[in-house]
Amino acid sequence: MENLTAQIGMRIRAARKSKGITQGELGKKTNLDQAYISRLENGTAEGSPAQILAIARAIGVSVAQIYDEKDMAGRKTDDLTDEALKLARTWQSLPAEQRAAMREAISALAKQFKTG
Q: How confident is the model at residue 79 (pLDDT cuts 50, 70, 90)?
A: low
**Does residue 17 contact residue 85 with C-beta atoms inside 8 Å?**
yes
Per-residue pLDDT of 8-18, as tens digits, reads 999 999 899 88
Domain ranges of the chain: 1-76, 80-116
Per-residue pLDDT of 28-74, as tens digits, reads 999 999 999 999 999 999 999 999 999 999 999 889 888 876 544 44
Burial 51-79 (b: 16+ CB within 10 A, else e): bbebbbebbebeeebbbeeeebeeeebee
Q: With helix as H, strand as E and coil as C, how does 80-107 read?
A: CCHHHHHHHHHHHHCCHHHHHHHHHHHH
**Does residue 54 contact residue 32 with C-beta atoms inside 8 Å?**
yes
How many angstroms separate the CA atoms of 40 and 34, rounded?
10
Instruction: Tell me yes or no: is domain 1-76 CATH 3.30.9.10.
Output: no
